Amino acid sequence: RPPKDFELQPIFDEHLYRWEQEYFFEFFIETHLGKDASALREDPILLGLAKRLGATAPHLVHRDFQSQNLMLHENKSWIIDFQGLRMGRQEYDLASLLYDPYMNHSAGDRRKLLDLWEDVAEEEPIEPILKDCAAQRLIQDNEWYLGHIPAALAFLKEVIDDTPLEDSLGPFLD
């Protein structure tokens, strides 16, 4: 059991999802691509995405559950880097692992990881929520991430394909 005074980061809510989106608008769309992100900041589809994903937070989530935070030592797996730990959508962690640009998993590898997750969780994720979480997770950018942008963009285009997010983000991603 955690200590009684154990405190988590604030809940992964609409405000935090909007913060992630703003980070994307500022550093990827405006700084990296040199495009104006004003329309995206007010886009009802992206506002709705943050609202929808932030509406419930029933699970403990790592918030950065990707390959660089999974370590193998003496035939055991270890999860590191817990400073973002909070209550949120478990699909966000799953999406972070499945659509990890550092690993650039094939569709077959993503299916294997998803099967493992389903064995552990004893349930299948809700596909639209998983894709929404993947889209949200993939909108990030910083200096050390630049080499992984092509993989992240390919994943982002895949998860927004034939969704309302494609209409909002698609023109910026071409």
Encoding tokens for residue 86?
Answer: 């909070």
Q: Please state, in angstroms and rounded to a whole number, the distance separating the CA atoms of residues 56 and 90.
A: 10
Helices (H) and strands (E) in the chain, counts: 8, 4
- Per-residue pLDDT band at 142 (split at 50, 70, 90): low
Closest-CA residue to 95 (of 123, 128, 120) = 128
What pTM value is reported for the model? 0.89
Torsion, CA 139, CA 161, CA 118, CA 83, rounded to 10: 0
% of the chain beyond a pLDDT of 70? 96
SS3 of residue 59 by DSSP: strand
Structural contact between residues 84 and 9, judged by C-beta atoms closer than 8 angstroms: yes
Per-residue model confidence as pLDDT tens digits over 16-63:
999 999 999 999 999 999 999 999 999 999 999 999 999 987 788 999
Q: Please state, in angstroms and rounded to a whole number, the distance separating the CA atoms of residues 40 and 126.
A: 26
